[in-house]
Chains A and B, each alone.
Chain A
Amino acid sequence: MDLERLGTAGDGAIRSRRGREREQENGKYLIALVGMSVLLLSTYQTCVAAAADWRSELVILRVDRKIDLTSHIVRVVMSLKVENTGSTRASDVIVAFPPGQVDNLAYLRASAAEGRGKNKVTVPLTANPFQSEDVPSGAALFSIALLKPLNKGETVTIEVLSVFTHSLMPLPEEITQAQSQLVIYRDSAYVLSPYPVKLQSTTVKTPSPRIESYTKVDPTKVVDAEIKYGPYENLPAFSFSSFIVHFENNQPFAVVKELVREIEISHWGNVQITEHYHLVHGGARLKAGFSRIEYQARPNIRGASSFKSLVARLPPRAHSVYYRDEIGNISTSHLKSDTRKTELEIEPRYPMFGGWQATFTIGYGLPLQDFLFQAADGRRYLNLTFASPFNDVVIDKLIVKVALPEGSKDPHVSIPISSVDQQQETKYSYLDTVGRTVVVLSKKNVIPEHNVFFQVYYNFSTFSMLAEPLMLVTGFFFFFLACILYSHFDFSISKSSVSYLAKLQREEVQDAIQRLQSVMNLRLAVSEKLEASLRDLARTGDVQACKAARKAADATLKDTAKELKSIHEFLQSSTQASHILPKVEELIHKEKEKQEKLLLKHSIVVDSVDKKLPSKEIDSRIASHEQKLVLLKQEVDELLQAVDDI
């Protein structure tokens, strides 16, 4: 148990800082934080100051203690009625635990009852470890600060809940599959107290009426599954009388040796939780093998001490739940979900018998808006439960890692539990460049009572969200840029090799063909215009415009003819062009023929219009040309297509 070191000099910086903060707003916190567990409020100095006179004249009028042994976690509830018989005011009440027990103490909570009857409310009190020389045989003390100091003759009722783990020792230590598990529990029949106790009684509750043996400290009484010690009267301070109960306890002794919870926040809408368990059955070890046929026939008798499944209560709207281990998915799990919770029932690959182990991982996603909020000062904070979602497990070591999104700064943790170690590390996940800040919290000996909400505050700018998409975009951009550059550079080593020269020539030929095509297109456009001018002529009778068009066309054709000739010559000279040369030549030839025919037709029409011949006459004169022109046009189109395909 690590409570004993609280408030001492060896503490981490973060903890003492929080201690200071707490000190300032002590009173406010006390009322506000209902249900809070052990608080470390008063500081060491006050402890020391009180040390001199801590055994002031307090007397405990009455103690009722209930020891609950029904699961493998031992819960002890003490209700103390304290009276101040001395003259000085008392502000603290000290409770004591026997030396063996305190090592297993996982949790301590004190509360005071205020008011009477229906108005009765419990107010949490603070308890912290307390040290004194004046204690027999190393008993551990805790001082509980009262709400208001106790004056002479006044009484106060305090309730103390203490929870112990690993306190039930299996006896025998090894059992067979058919045996049920017997455990022993040791404690003192008298409540260990630094004050004299007037009247006290203790009730021990066991899970079943099967109690093998118990120590008698008269008066002792057994009723069903309850052993009652007491009442005892007028015992001096630090009275001790050991008792041992040996009884049957077949509750699942589910102990998690180590649990690593990884919480990863993504501002794109998800909180991913991954929990790695190392589960052990902490009860009596199985001896002489496991017989499937017996277990199969009567699992409740021939496997009484084993447990088959565990139930986890996940937050509502948990999604993408998985359950696997290092060798793959485990197919034995059930998920039930409604609006208030998600219930995950997992079965390890085999029934868990005493001493058997299993490691597994469960993971689930949570909607971001349910767990991430923005604080008043602009910081964001995650609000999530601390411990495992499984019922009734003891976690020997819990490590919670909160991975904040990349680019978050100044993480700050607020947690209402004591003795949590805090560290920071960096983690690299998908597309991370500088890494994510990971806040690592670790605590030993964790029980379900520790499953409270904690907060991680951090600064985060929304622009950081865009960093990763932008990175991807840039990456692709440079990739394509590289591709473009590659296709524009010449990487050949030898500039004089045959293949390189051939390649160059090929490119030149291609170039020439492209030029040829553009020239052809120009010429085609010219003929289109001529045709258009003829149509205009037929419509408007404007001979002048038609003649002008003819003039322009002539000039263009003349120039392009030159160009064509040069291309033709080049192709003739090139060896690489031999296979396309016939087509090209045919094209040039046909196209020329076509242009000539068109020009001829044009001049005939213009002449006829000048001579004011009737349109029928004109039609008959150009009919033969027209027919040829259509054929030529078709051929030229085909040839152009063919050249295009080369």
Chain B
Amino acid sequence: MTGKTDVALNSVMAPLTLKMESLQLSMKNFRLKTKQQELLLRIGVLCLVYVLAFITRLFSVLRYESMIHEFDPYFNYRTTLYLTEKGFYDFWNWFDYESWYPLGRIIGGTLYPGLMVTAALIYWTLRLLSFAVHIREVCVLTAPFFASNTTIVAYFFGKELWDSGAGLVAAALIAICPGYISRSVAGSYDNEGVAIFALLMTFYLFVKAVNTGSLAWSVASAFGYFYMVSAWGGYIFIINLIPIYVLVLLVTGRYSLRLYIAYNCMYILGMLLAMQIRFVGFQHVQSGEHMAAMGVFFLMQVFYFVDWVKHQLDDPKLFQAFLKITVTGAVGAGGLALGLGMASGYISPWTGRFYSLLDPTYAKDHIPIIASVSEHQPTAWSSFMFDFHILLIFFPAGLYFCFRRLTDATIFIVLYGLTSLYFAGVMVRLILVATPAVCLISAIAVSASVKNLAVLVRSKPKAASSVVSKGSSSLKASAKISVDQSLPFQRRGAGILILGILYLLTSYVTHCTWVTSEAYSSPSIVLAARGAHGDRVIFDDYREAYFWLRQNTPPDAKVMSWWDYGYQITAMGNRTVIVDNNTWNNTHIATVGRAMSSYEHEAYEIMQSLDVDYVLVVFGGVTGYSSDDINKFLWMVRIGGGVFPVIKESDYLVNGEYRVDKGAAPKMLNCLMYKLCYHRFGELSTEYGRPPGWDRARGVEIGNKNVKLEFLEEAFTTSNWIVRIYKVKPPVNRW
């Protein structure tokens, strides 16, 4: 086309003038058009947000080192290492003898492999590109990398929901939101790190599919769902939220062919793909948690059928009658099928974890092992404020904007926001799931209000010029002018409001940075404290103990400890453990809890039956480290007592009070855990001006200073006494 014009022009113009013209044109082209400027700005902002999301998560690497954090990530790291060393098939068929002795664990069938496979793929790609990185570095940086990717998805999601401005704000908000950072700092190599990306991706693709009715987007969302299933157990949230969303659309009369295509394709394909994950397998069609999706799937078919019949029948009366019959028939058949399935055991009932999500008090009464984990506690208000800060204020405003402009997409985000916020209230760790929704809805609020205000701020000069030039040109202009007159301080007010929003956003940034650097960047393996002179003191006791185990115990030694430390002992200590953080066998954990809360000679029998060689306890009495085994001890008693009724919680309490000093219960003073923690502690002076045996974590003088061990001996104690390891003596000869 342009070629033609050129020819036409050439024939007319003298070549010289043409040259001059084109020169002028090119000069003009140099100045970017508004559209291009906007695009450049948008891409620039997105790139900056991408980088920001990555580097704000590197505090932990700078403060400490490039290392894996916490507990579960150590298991993930160990399996990733195995995957990269032995290959995928060995990984898939891995039977792990080093945990859950003597039961072992089928690793390939009991994990979500998405994270490990992702990290391994990144690692292999980098190796292929001849970057000689270590797998540890890849694992450490996987979570920040995916957090960066999440910001991009958030941008597109925001764009799909509202406009590109909202997308940009959403990307910026989610990049530094503490609720997300808490699970995705460098080193926190956990499923959640990639899962939030997968979750948001799936939702985005599904909303896109609903909006366009395109099969391609729907298939893409099914694959997003597959990735999510492979990465995290939280996929249950997707497979329940989407049916609820579809149901809401159906109820509000928003059924369309687009929705039909999007949901059916996503459900069927997603289900088939999800069943390829061994850990999920047939649960996807058999367990109670997945039934809602299946029910809605059948409901969609009924809807389609009814729609088709309506199309065929002209008589509304006849159709009404038909509708009645079909609906009762469908509901009846569905209910019957569900009842039969439940009764025959083909459909498994909801699991305890699922119940505990719906009912916050359920776990406390029925599953102490879930209730014992701090991140499963109901959320305090302060932690909402801590993790969301001003987003808590923007969130309702965003809901208001969403309701103002109800579309299929905004209904989705409203549903996502409300349900996930409920779950976040039930469990602390689920704040993570709510974070993207809160960020997106707040972004809508911020973007929409800033846009409205900016229009007001900019409207005045335009209106003035139009008055001069056009006089009484159009009705619209005059209407604007009349509005102007009704609110005299409108411009100034809008300007102040914009400044106010900017102030809020700035304080959000300050808050997020502070939270990230102070609260969420500690690896929890290495503890840091301030010394007397303000210098940084590092307690590296965990690694000291694990490395000692690794180097100076027989390679087949079995270590008994509370399950919290299981993953770390296998990953860093390279020794077999009795129980670990994969709490799949409650009885086994209860046995360990029972051993810890029994008298030494009883515990010895249990340990003998489990082939235990070493016992590891964590003790904070010297350093004042409060999350030690003595403070966790009541949970051991409860979990042990839940299976073995000989252990009674009341035996360890005095008048309902838990104490370790002289007034403690006699069973408490002589149980194995007490003895192991306080062995020879009575001789040690921990604080100036206090008697020896002063427990700094609990601020009391211990009650039993003369701990004598009969069946165990101290094998190793770390330099700050945080980890103590005891060797189980072999049985005494009978003759």
Residues of chain A touching chain B, judged by Cβ–Cβ distance below 8 Å, are 288-293, 325, 327-332, 349-350, 355-359, 428-433, 508, 511-512, 514-515, 518, 521-522, 525, 555-556, 559, 563, 631, 634-635, 641, 644-645
Bound-state CA distance A431–B34 (Å) is: 42
Q: Could you give 27 example pairs across A and B, Cβ below 8 Å?
A: A289-B713, A292-B716, A292-B718, A293-B683, A328-B65, A329-B65, A349-B543, A350-B547, A350-B719, A355-B552, A358-B547, A359-B551, A428-B130, A430-B131, A430-B132, A431-B131, A433-B130, A508-B1, A518-B25, A521-B21, A521-B24, A525-B21, A556-B13, A631-B469, A635-B469, A644-B33, A644-B34
In the complex the two chains form, is B548's CB within 8 Å of A349's CB? yes
Other-chain residue from A332, A357, A522, A631 in contact with B552 (beta carbon distance below 8 A): A357
- Kindly identify, within residues 565 to 580 of chain B, every residue whose CB is under 8 Å from any CB belonging to chain A: 572
In the complex the two chains form, is B543's CB within 8 Å of A357's CB? no
Chain A residues in 8 Å Cβ range of B572? 327
In the complex the two chains form, is B469's CB within 8 Å of A634's CB? yes
Report if A356-B552 is in contact (Cβ < 8 Å); known contacts: A522-B21, A644-B34. Answer: yes
Bound-state CA distance A428–B543 (Å) is: 31
Chain A residues in 8 Å Cβ range of B684? 293
In the complex the two chains form, is B12's CB within 8 Å of A556's CB? yes
Whole-angstrom distance between the Cβ of B716 and the nearest chain A Cβ: 5
Determine whether B530 belongs to the interface, using a CB cutoff of 8 Å to chain A.
Answer: no
Report if A290-B716 is in contact (Cβ < 8 Å); known contacts: A428-B130, A431-B131, A559-B12. Answer: yes
Bound-state CA distance A350–B541 (Å) is: 10
Chain A residues in 8 Å Cβ range of B9? 522
Determine whether B67 belongs to the interface, using a CB cutoff of 8 Å to chain A.
Answer: yes
- Kindly identify, within residues 294 to 327 of chain B, every residue whose CB is under 8 Å from any CB belonging to chain A: none
Other-chain residue from A327, A355, A635 in contact with B543 (beta carbon distance below 8 A): A327
Nearest opposing residue in chain B for A292, CB measure:
B717
In the complex the two chains form, is A645's CB within 8 Å of B35's CB? yes
Other-chain residue from A291, A515, A644 in contact with B680 (beta carbon distance below 8 A): A291
Q: Interface 1/0s, chain B 695-735, versus A by CB < 8 A? A: 00000000000000000011111110100000100000000
In the complex the two chains form, is B547's CB within 8 Å of A290's CB? no
Chain B residues in 8 Å Cβ range of A433? 130
In the complex the two chains form, is B67's CB within 8 Å of A329's CB? yes
In the complex the two chains form, is B34's CB within 8 Å of A645's CB? yes
Residues of B within 8 A of A (CB-CB), count: 45
Whole-angstrom distance between the Cβ of B62 and the nearest chain A Cβ: 13
Bound-state CA distance A327–B546 (Å) is: 9
Chain A residues in 8 Å Cβ range of B546? 327
Other-chain residue from B21, B540, B716, B721 in contact with A331 (beta carbon distance below 8 A): B540
Determine whether B544 belongs to the interface, using a CB cutoff of 8 Å to chain A.
Answer: yes
In the complex the two chains form, is A293's CB within 8 Å of B34's CB? no
Which 7 pairs show the lowest CB-CB distances between chains A and B? A292-B717, A349-B544, A357-B551, A329-B65, A327-B572, A511-B1, A559-B12
Determine whether B380 belongs to the interface, using a CB cutoff of 8 Å to chain A.
Answer: no
Bound-state CA distance A588–B676 (Å) is: 92
Q: Interface 1/0s, chain B 16-29, versus A by CB < 8 A? A: 00000100110010
Determine whether B47 belongs to the interface, using a CB cutoff of 8 Å to chain A.
Answer: no
Chain A residues in 8 Å Cβ range of B34? 641, 644-645
Nearest opposing residue in chain A for B572, CB measure:
A327
- Kindly identify, within residues 40 to 71 of chain B, every residue whose CB is under 8 Å from any CB belonging to chain A: 65, 67
Chain B residues in 8 Å Cβ range of A332? 540
Report if A521-B28 is in contact (Cβ < 8 Å); known contacts: A327-B547, A430-B131, A430-B132. Answer: yes
Q: Interface 1/0s, chain B 330-352, versus A by CB < 8 A? A: 00000000000000000000000
In the complex the two chains form, is A431's CB within 8 Å of B713's CB? no
Chain A residues in 8 Å Cβ range of B719? 292, 350
Report if A358-B551 is in contact (Cβ < 8 Å); known contacts: A291-B680, A432-B130, A518-B25. Answer: yes
Chain B residues in 8 Å Cβ range of A292? 714, 716-719, 721
In the complex the two chains form, is A514's CB within 8 Å of B2's CB? yes
Nearest opposing residue in chain A for B35, CB measure:
A645
Determine whether B532 belongs to the interface, using a CB cutoff of 8 Å to chain A.
Answer: no
Other-chain residue from A349, A429, A521, A631 in contact with B547 (beta carbon distance below 8 A): A349
- Kindly identify, within residues 663 to 685 of chain B, every residue whose CB is under 8 Å from any CB belonging to chain A: 680, 683-684
Determine whether B8 belongs to the interface, using a CB cutoff of 8 Å to chain A.
Answer: yes
Report if A328-B1 is in contact (Cβ < 8 Å); known contacts: A349-B548, A525-B21, A559-B12. Answer: no
- 7 extra interface residue pairs, beta carbon distance < 8 Å, beyond A325-B547, A328-B543: A290-B717, A292-B719, A331-B526, A332-B540, A350-B716, A356-B551, A563-B8
In the complex the two chains form, is B8's CB within 8 Å of A293's CB? no
Bound-state CA distance A89–B9 (Å) is: 112
In the complex the two chains form, is B680's CB within 8 Å of A293's CB? yes
Determine whether B5 belongs to the interface, using a CB cutoff of 8 Å to chain A.
Answer: yes
Nearest opposing residue in chain B for A562, CB measure:
B8
Whole-angstrom distance between the Cβ of B428 and the nearest chain A Cβ: 28
Determine whether B455 belongs to the interface, using a CB cutoff of 8 Å to chain A.
Answer: no
In the complex the two chains form, is A515's CB within 8 Å of B2's CB? yes
